[in-house]
Structure 1
Amino acid sequence: MADALLGPAEIRELAARLGVAPTKKLGQNFVHDPNTVRRIVAAAELTGDDVVLEVGPGLGSLTLGLLGAAAHVHAVELDPVLAAALPATVAERGDAAKLTVHHADALRIGRSALSPAPTMLVANLPYNVAVPVVLHLLAELPTLRGGLVMVQKEVADRLVAGPGSKIYGVPSVKLAWYAAARSAGRVPPAVFWPVPNVDSGLVAFANREPPAEVERRAVFQVVDAAFAQRRKTLRAALAGWAGGAGLAEKVLVAAGVSPQARGESLTVEQFAAIAAAAIAAGCGGKLSASGRRHEEVDS
C-alpha cells in the first residue's frame, strides 16, 4: 500500500491537473499525509470481507488506503469533477474493480443505491455536515456494523460525550441510540490541504441494537425538546412537547426521572423511558417552535 498512497506533491499535482481548488462551501480539506491514511485504516479495524462506505473521498487519498484493506469501497462524492476523476486515480494506483463511485449527496443516498451493502462507514467528513451525515447513514443503513469518522475535534468530543458533561447534547444522545462510540485520537491540521484552523478528531463506533423498544422518532423528539432549553429543568423544557408542565411532570415521574433533572444528565435509555411513558399516557410529540427540527439534524 505504501507506493499506492498519495503524498503532498501528488495531491497538489492532481488538483492542478483537474483544476480543483478546495472550497469551504463543500467543507473540503484533503488529507495529504500517507501515514495519517495508514493510521485511519488501521484504526478502522477492517476485515477483508468489509464493504466500506466513504463519504467525501475528494482526490482519493483515503480511498486508496481503504481499497487495500476492504473487499469493496463505495465512495460518495458531491463534487462532480472529483467524482468523475476518482476512478482514473484508483486505476493508476489501486484496484478499480473494488470501487464504486456515487456522484450523490450523502444526506440523500439510500440503501437501494449501495450494492453490495456497506458494513463499515469510514470517512473524512466535511465539517459542516458531519453529524447529520452520520445520523442519516446509521438510520438508513442497518447493515453497518460500525465505523470510524474524522471530524472537527470539537464535534468529535461532543459525539463521544457522556451524561453529565457540559458538551453532552443532541449529537451525543442520538449517536448513542445507534452505537457505542469512543474517541480514537486527534489529527493535527498539518496533514490537510488546505490547512484548517482547527484540530480534527477520530470517532470510532460499534453499532448495537436500539436500547429500548420505542420508536426512534418519538425518542428523538424528547431529546430535541430537552436540549432546546437545556438550562431549564425537564419539567419546564418538556412542557411544550408534553402539552403542559403538569403533563410533563406526570410523564417524567412515570418514567422514573426527576422532573427537576436536566437533559444533560440523562442517558439515552432514560430518554427512551420518557418517550414510552408519554406514549402510554397518550401525550407528547407537541414540539414548540423553538424545539422543532428534523430528527437527524445536529443541535
Structure 2
Amino acid sequence: MARKRFGQNFLHERGVIDRIVTAIDPQADDALIEIGPGHGALTDPLLARVNRLRVIEIDYDLIAALEARAIREPRLHVIAGDALTMDYAAIAAEAGAALRLVGNLPYNISSPLLFALLASAAPITDMHFMLQKEVVDRMVAREGDADYGRLSVAIAARASATALFDVGPGAFTPPPKVTSAVVRLVPRTPDFVIDDQPVFDRVIAAAFNQRRKTLRNALKNLLGADDIAACEIDPGLRAERVSPAAFARLANAAARHF
C-alpha cells in the first residue's frame, strides 16, 4: 500500500519501465543508485544490467522486503534512510566512481532533492527522474517560453536538462492526478560565470517573485536601473525575457555591491 506521507505512486507499466531503462542505458560497472525503489518495478531490470545496484528507501515496510531480497541477491545493496539527507559523496567514494541516479521521485520531495543533489560534493554523471510533467516543462523551458521561470534559470546554472517522454497516470498505482515525465539531468558548469551562487539565486527569486514587474521594479532592492543597463540588459524587460547568462551578469553586479 502506498503511504500518503511519502507521496508514493508505484510504477507498474512494463512499456514505460523498458523506455526508462533504455534511456539510462546502464553499463555493468556503473555506480547506479535507485532512489525510492518501491516494489522493485525498475529495480529488477536495472539489476539485470549492472554488477551492483544501490537502492535508497525510507519506507520501513518496503525496506524489510528489499533487505530480504538482498540476502538472496548480493548484487543488491539496500540503504535505509532519507534521500534528502544522504551522504552521496561518501557513497561515491565507497563505489570508487561517479554516481548515476534514477528514480520515480515522490512529488513532495522532488525539487528539494534535485537541488540537494546538484549542490552535493559527490561526483554525479547523470540523473534520470520521473517527475510531474509541469515541473519538467519548467525545468527545460527557455526564455520567452510560457513555462520559463525561476526553476528554469536555477537548473540552467547547474545542469543540462532534457525532457525525454511523458507518462500518463495509468502507469502508476495508485494513479496520480497529473501527467508525469522523465527528465535527464547532467550536472555541469554553465557557459557563463556566476561569482556568488547565493546572490544569483536571490536575484532570480526577486525577478520572478512578481512576474509582471519589470527588472527595474523587481530588482530595485538589489540593483538600480543604471546598474541593470550597465549589464547590457534593458531595465524595462520582464524576467521571462531574460536568459540565464543575462541573469548571471545581473547577479555578478549585485554581488559586487554586497
Instruction: Report what 1:216 is aligned to.
Output: 197
Aligned to 1:107, the other structure's residue is in SS state helix
1:107 correspondence with 2:84? yes
Measure how far apart 1:216 and its partner are: 1.9
Measure how far apart 1:91 and its partner are: 5.4
**Worse-matched range after superposition: 106-115 or 181-190:** 106-115
Letter in 1 for 2:23: A
Measure how far apart 1:71 and its partner are: 4.0
Q: How many residues align?
A: 254
Instruction: Report what 2:134 is aligned to.
Output: 154
Of 199, 218, 240, 1:237 maps to 218
Separation of aligned partners in 1, 2:227 and 2:149: 21
Instruction: Judge conservation of contact 2:89–2:122 (CA < 8 Å) in 1.
Output: no
Measure how far apart 1:69 and its partner are: 2.5
Instruction: Report what 1:70 is aligned to.
Output: 50
Separation of aligned partners in 1, 2:38 and 2:8: 7
| Distance change (3 Å), C-alpha of 1:73 and 1:262 | farther
Instruction: Judge conservation of contact 2:231–2:249 (CA < 8 Å) in 1.
Output: yes
Q: TM-score, normalised by structure 1?
A: 0.78
| Distance change (3 Å), C-alpha of 1:118 and 1:54 | farther
Aligned to 2:177, the other structure's residue is in SS state coil
Which whole-Å deviations, capped at 9, do the CAs of 1:42-97 have from their partners, x for residues lacking one?
112333332122221112211222222234333221212212321323555xxx33
Which whole-Å deviations, capped at 9, do the CAs of 1:109-160 have from their partners, x for residues lacking one?
2234423255212110111221221121111144112121111111121111
Q: What does 1:248-287 align with in structure 2 at a 5 Å threshold? A: 248-280=224-256, 282-283=257-258
Q: What does 1:77-88 align with in structure 2 at a 5 Å threshold? A: 77-88=57-68
| Distance change (3 Å), C-alpha of 1:84 and 1:250 | farther
Letter in 2 for 1:252: I
1:131 correspondence with 2:124? no
1:121 correspondence with 2:101? yes
Measure how far apart 1:254 and its partner are: 2.5
Q: TM-score, normalised by structure 2?
A: 0.90
Separation of aligned partners in 2, 1:171 and 1:193: 28
Q: Aligned-pair RMSD on alpha carbons?
A: 1.9
1:48 correspondence with 2:42? no
1:98 correspondence with 2:71? no
Measure how far apart 1:202 and its partner are: 0.8
Measure how far apart 1:208 and its partner are: 1.8
Segments ≥4 residues shifted beyond 3 Å:
89-92
State, as a whole percentage, how many aligned pairs show the same letter. Answer: 38
Aligned to 1:97, the other structure's residue is in SS state coil
Q: What does 1:21-36 align with in structure 2 at a 5 Å threshold? A: 21-36=1-16
Instruction: Judge conservation of contact 2:89–2:121 (CA < 8 Å) in 1.
Output: no
Instruction: Judge conservation of contact 2:194–2:200 (CA < 8 Å) in 1.
Output: no
Separation of aligned partners in 1, 2:205 and 2:14: 40
Structure 1's unaligned 5+ residue stretches are 1-20, 284-299
Instruction: Judge conservation of contact 1:60–1:89 (CA < 8 Å) in 2.
Output: no
Aligned to 1:209, the other structure's residue is in SS state coil
Instruction: Report what 1:182 is aligned to.
Output: 162
Instruction: Report what 1:89 is aligned to.
Output: 69
